[in-house]
Amino acid sequence: MYNDIEQIWISKEDLSKRIKEIALELDEEYKGKNPLMICILRGAVMFFADLIREMKIPLEIDFMSISSYGAGVNSTGEVKLVKDLDTKLAGRDVIIVEDIIDTGYTLQYLKKNLNTRNPNSIKTCCLLDKPSRREVETYPDFKGFEIENQFVVGYGLDFDQNYRNLPEIGILKPSVYQEEK
């Protein structure tokens, strides 16, 4: 797996340190509110699991699966709901937890979709943000790191469903996606 990685971009230590800081921010903001934290499958799974374990306030979790990508590295702009939530959102304080915001289409879709279900509030928390790639005006309320226009994998993020189990975030060698298996 590491043979395909050009460079480790964010180490385990840096991930863990930043996630503790975000957890503190969320604990403050949602004190006494029992928020519903929504993990967007599959990319956010590691971030979500680590983040909720650092939070000290009572909270609930649910999962939703969205697909916006084909097999390549460029978004199609087309977002599809693959698995819906089991929890009703009416009156809830919802936190959408995503791996990365790239063009912004996924987050825009999610906010619009969940807003029709009458939650009390919706905020978004993303591990990574690539602002230079944005095509629609949408920004996370909480975020881990801003990154350049580079395709990253690991810590839940994939290329063609691979590399999700890499414990850190790395930059894929361009030769890997230029080959297009």
Residues that bind ligand IMP (CB under 6 A): 43, 68-69, 75, 98-107, 151-153, 157
Closer residue to ligand IMP (CB): 27 or 160: 160
Instruction: Give the CA distances from residue 71 to residues 68, 76, 177, in Å, rounded to whole numbers and listed in that order.
Output: 10, 10, 10
- We find the least distance from the C-beta atom of residue 58 to Mg ion, in angstroms, to be 27
Which residue, chain included where needed, has tokens 């909480």?
142
Which residues lie closer than 8 Å to 11 by C-beta, 6 or more apart?
A: 168
Q: Which of 102, 141, 158, 160 is catalytic?
A: 102
Q: 24-53 mask for Mg ion (x: CB under 5 A)?
A: -------------------x----------
Residue 169 binding: pick among Mg ion, ligand IMP, none (C-beta 5-8 Å cut-off by kind): none
102 in active site: yes
- We find the least distance from the C-beta atom of residue 32 to ligand IMP, in angstroms, to be 31
Closest CA relative to residue 116, chosen from 137, 85, 138, 141: 85
Instruction: Say if strands 169-172 and 152-153 run parallel, antiparallel, or are unpaired.
Output: antiparallel
Closer residue to ligand IMP (CB): 76 or 120: 76
Strands lying side by side in the sheet with 75-83: 75-83, 60-69, 36-41, 93-101, 121-129, 142-146
- We find the least distance from the C-beta atom of residue 106 to ligand IMP, in angstroms, to be 3
Count residues contacting Mg ion (CB under 5 A)?
1
Which residues lie closer than 8 Å to 178 by C-beta, 6 or more apart?
A: none
Q: Which residues bind to Mg ion, rule: CB under 5 A?
A: 43
Among all residues, which ones are annotated catalytic? Answer: 102
